[in-house]
Each structure stands twice: as C-alpha cells, then as structure tokens.
Structure 1
Amino acid sequence: MPFDDTLEEHRIAGVSLRNGMHTAMHAGMHARVRLVTSAFANERCCALGRWIHEDGERWDDAPELLQLKLAHASFHTVALVIAISITQGRLAEAAIMLEPDALFENAVRMLAHAVSRFENRLVTGAPPTTVLHGQIH
C-alpha cells in the first residue's frame, strides 16, 4: 500500500474544501461542495479506507492499526462536518475549522502521524501484537 499517495489524497481534500468555500462565498454555487460532502460521507471512499477495511485485517490486533483506523475516521468526520457547514452556508464556521492549526490541519497531522507509526511497524517487520484490554500503549 503506497501510504504517501493516500496522505496526498487526504491533503487534497483540504484544497477541495477551501475551493468549495471560496466558490460558495463568491458565486453562491454549492454543487461542487455537495460532491465533496458525498465523497467524505463514507471513509471507505478513499484508497486508505478501502485498504484498512479490506487488507488491514491481518493487523487487527496491532495498536498501530487501531490508531490508524481512529485517525482516518476522525479525518473523514472533520472533513464531512466542514463540507456540510459550507453546503449549509455556514461559511464563517467552516473558515474557522480550516484555519492553520485548527481542526482540519490537526486531523491531517493526526492521520499523518498514524500512517507513519503504522509504516514503522511494517518496516520493522514485527508481527502484529495483541493488546490486552485495559492496557494503554
């Protein structure tokens, strides 16, 4: 799985959201934003989401995969909330979430960190580990 490509796919989402907001502000057009909304409604719409749910099964017990699943789901939730805000004309709210060091960038960073941590697990060749319930890693 080329994780760099999947991260780029998610970074481009920010560009799409910002473009959608710009379009909504200046032209009143919401059709493009609806496309973004539908694309983020299901986290399996992207390559990383499909990989997590189809090929990541053999790593299900690895804490790194759990972190990746959570970060990926969080990213899609944040992107969807922003897209809905834009579609509903709540542009100031969307703009705040898209500001540097705000909600969207934090979701991107969290996803990038989780991908990096999972890639490190793959590179070391360590077999998946079982985490006992109640333990924190």
Structure 2
Amino acid sequence: MSLGDTLEEHWIAGVSLRNGMEMHKRVRLVASAFGNERCCTLGRWIHEDAQRWDDAPELLQLKLAHASFHTVALVIAIAITQKRIAEAAVMLEPDALFENAARMLAHAVSCFENRRVTGTLPTPVRHGEIH
C-alpha cells in the first residue's frame, strides 16, 4: 500500500468540510468518520500494521500528524454542525489551521515513505556531536 494514496481520502475531508459550510447536515458524516482516526485507511494501517516501524522517528511524526489532522477536521465539523460557520470558515482559509494540518500530514507521509523505501535507520549521533 502506498501511504501517499491515502492522502486523497484526507483531501476529500477538506472538500466535505468546505461543502458542509453550505449544507451543515452533510458534515455530520465527516464528523463521525473523522472523530476516530482509525476510521480511515491510513489510521487503520498505523494502528494495525506499523508495529515493525515502532522505533522509527518518522512513524511517530506520522502518528502525530495524522492525529492532529483528525482533531482539526473534527473541530471544524463540530463548528459547522453547531452553525458557527464564520469560525469554521476561518479555520478553512488558505494557510490556516486545516491547510496546515493537511500539509503537516503530507510531509509526514512523505518522510515515512522515504524511510520505508530506503529501509535505513537514522545515523546515531554520538554525545556532543552535531548531526
């Protein structure tokens, strides 16, 4: 499985949230789907198949970025369902909260994919040395 392909699923969340600003009932589906980070393909992979990478810092970065993305999406979905449309709109603006969370997730996926492809561990840094 290419983790990069799973980003499309997360991109669709952004589209759904933006559309939800117009039709807030539709966002309830997004809120329930993104309220639990294990509901998407990437989340299931992280929690079920990533054990052999547990000591990789790139996996930790991926886990944090993925959880952050879902938290941000859920906060926006809740704002929309509570009809706090202006608040949700601010979080969905370019370079705002949602876009930054999506970029952070894309970066973490890229770093982890690079790690998976090379299969190398980071070079240890001896005490007192700058890496």
User: Which residue does 1:47 correspond to in 2?
Assistant: 41
Q: Match for 1:71: what amino acid?
A: A
Q: Match for 2:62: what amino acid?
A: L
Q: CA deviation at 1:7?
A: 0.5
User: Which residue does 1:23 correspond to in 2?
Assistant: 23
Structure-2-length-normalised TM-score: 0.90
Gaps of 5+ in 1: 25-29, 131-136
Deviation readout 1:14-38 (Å, 9 max, x if unpaired)? 00000111223xxxxx2x1111110
Alpha-carbon distance in 2 for matches of 1:112, 1:70: 12
Structure-1-length-normalised TM-score: 0.86
Q: CA deviation at 1:110?
A: 0.1
Q: Does residue 98 of structure 2 align to residue 104 of structure 1?
A: yes
**2:6 and 2:41 in contact (8 A); partners too:** yes
User: Which residue does 1:94 correspond to in 2?
Assistant: 88
**1:61 and 1:128 in contact (8 A); partners too:** no
Q: 1:74 aligns with which of 52, 58, 68?
A: 68
Structure 1 runs, 4 residues or longer, greater than 2 Å off: 127-130
User: Which residue does 2:6 correspond to in 1?
Assistant: 6
Q: Match for 1:106: what amino acid?
A: N
Aligned alpha-carbon RMSD (Å) = 1.7
Q: CA deviation at 1:4?
A: 2.2
Q: Match for 1:88: what amino acid?
A: Q
Instruction: Report sequence identity in percent.
Output: 82
Q: 2:118 aligns with which of 104, 120, 124?
A: 124
**2:65 and 2:105 in contact (8 A); partners too:** yes
Q: Match for 1:82: what amino acid?
A: I
Gaps of 5+ in 2: 125-130
User: Which residue does 1:33 correspond to in 2?
Assistant: 27
Q: Tell me, what secondary structure is at the counterpart of 1:78?
A: helix
Q: Match for 1:85: what amino acid?
A: A
Q: Tell me, what secondary structure is at the counterpart of 1:52?
A: helix
**1:40 and 1:80 in contact (8 A); partners too:** yes
